[in-house]
Structure 1
Amino acid sequence: MPIALYALTVGAFGIGVTEFVIMGLLLQVSTDLHVSVPTAGLLITGYALGVFVGAPVLTLATRHLPQKTTLLVLMAIFTVGNLACALAPDYGLLMAARVLTSLAHGTFFGVGSLVATSLVAPERKASAIAVMFTGLTLATLLGVPFGSWLGVALGWRATFWAVSVIGLAALVVLALLVPKAGERPAPAPLKDELAVLTRPQVLLSLLMTVLGFGGVFAVFTFIQPILVTLAGFDKANVSPILLVVGAGLVVGNILGGRWADRHLSGALVGTLVLLTLVLVGAGFAFHDRITAVIISFLFGAAAFATVAPLQLRLLHQAGGAGQGLASSLNIAAFNLGNALGAWLGGVVIDQGPGLAAVPLVAALVPLSALGLAMVSLALERRTAGAMAGYGQGAD
């Protein structure tokens, strides 16, 4: 793989740490800022909604800029936002700083996905996307456990100071390694880019992404309270288990990318089935320490196995002029799923059957994404059949 892909991986690592690290700090933040755990969980929702809004807006705003310039500007926004998080004196300003940080997220991954796929042969596009998203998985494998440990040892603000340093390092690496060969061509007319939003298959793909990751984050947002309250682990033991989750993310991301390269439709359906089954199993496995560790790995693997199939499916359906906007919108859709999942988990805890029921309720969300995938593939087959019939009739 070209070295530029690994520069994108470093940037993705920095962004991934700041998105996910708060999950290992919910108890500390809620105590220090005098808010409930579900209220602290809304810091994840706020970040995700910022991505959802920022992705299309910044993608269109930067469409005339070179791709490398866009990536550097976005990483600078990310770094400043994390500095603001470290300095935030209260919950409201912390939320505002999280939203500022999130604005860079969607466009970074949207532009990065296009750069990644442009650097490799067509048959390796899904694997290239997976390489870039390995930064997210490594963020969870290494960054989140370290950030959680640092938050316990030195306070949650120390974690955001550390993430700011990561942002500066990523800025330097991107400046040095992303080639000018990745500069974007002249953008298509705006109306041509926006036209992608009128395609039913594109909208179905975006909704699949929202629902697929909605189930993931209903559980992931509250992974620290789940492990402490249900499985009986001490707070200090959560960080090593997050390493296990991160290992699963790395494995699932790689295997999902390879599967999608070989058979995209099969990978799309298969990964959503796997995710649903793992969440059902998690509803029972999180009540025992040994099975909690095992299901944590499987949960991570199933969650990120879906990333490359969902992203590549949308790029295929968007095609041509709409790929840039569609790619960013899919990252926005991932994060809208994150926001809805965090909200759903909080509702189940506060107003529903409680923390123990979160994984079982969460399983219903990717199950609905699976239903949409089946509808989408059926429509695709029907369209292909109609086109073939039309061609035969023309002969």
Structure 2
Amino acid sequence: MLSDHGEQQCFWPTSNPRSKARNGVPPNQPPENWSKHCIRILYRTDSWEKADSKVQEALYTSNVDTDSDIGTKRRVKAPARFVEQSSDSEEDANKGPKRSADEDLRNFEPSPRVKKIRAQKTSCQARHKEKISGRDYDMGLSSSRDATKTENLFKQLDFIREDIHGVSRNIDGLRVDVDSLRRQMKSNETLLLQCRQKVENYERRSPGSGSYNQTRIRIDEILSEPFQDSEDLESFMNERLNAEKRRSEMVSAMSSIGGVNLNQTVRRIYYRVGTDTVWQDYCHLGFNREKKAWIERSMYKMIYSACCKIHSSATQAEYEAAVNSLLRHAPEKVKKKLKAQASRRNELLQPLMIAEEQ
């Protein structure tokens, strides 16, 4: 314990203070990890238990007796609102009339924070009442709204049924039109073939006609339509073009297709022989192992001979460039065609799918 300028001070441990005080552990010299505090002595004793009990008493009153072990507590006076009123008491007469608890509560001025909390509570209660009233109003109107919605849904279903029936009738009409067009196209093809045969027979019988008209063959006489599969084209080249006479007839027939320039002639002849689904299976020089080498086929040279008959100034390099471009772009054209067909099919089936879901 120290005295500095009339103030009493002491050291107090920063770690485990209660156990060190109980055991009476003195501070180190010089004191390390001990803090200095100003103190006032209220009670003296040699017993730790008594001192500990006086600590709890000193929290409420400073009247702690230093001579005796038991101190006197500070008298706590009860509030006036909890004391019974007595008209016979002289003390009450001297003090004057007492105020009731209700008057105290009415005169009590709450703090600003309490006022704010009460205002928030009042606003929350008001909003809650508004929600409940609005909910009751909505519940009252829900039945009429549901009935109106049900009627509108039934009307929409009737319109959808009528649209479905109209679409089905249109589809049936389109099918009939397509079938009639196919029959008409077949009859027209037959008539065209007959007319061509008659014209060729007339040219052969006519006097003064040259030898070219007598030996000329149309491509339709050999190929009725372009090939759709590369296997069919391979079998045609192996079975129908094995003789020299048939190869020369094929060259003559392909030369009758013609074209403005070499590139146009190559495209017209190739697309008359087969579609892009056939040419996507071929590679020009055979570098792609997944495809067939087109340069090794007999049809490659025959088409070149036909192009030379039409364009006498055409070179083999120009012909190879045109063929290479056609074969290189064939797979991409097939993909675009399939994608267009799929989108068209989805457009036709989408109304039916929507009708089935509903």
> Rg bigger for which structure?
2
* TM-score interval, smaller chain: under 0.3
The structure carrying a bigger strand percent of its residues is 2
Higher RCO (CA < 8 A, seq sep 6+): 1
* Larger helix proportion of the pair: 1
Q: TM-score, normalised by structure 1?
A: 0.26
**Alignment TM-score, normalising by the size of structure 2:** 0.28
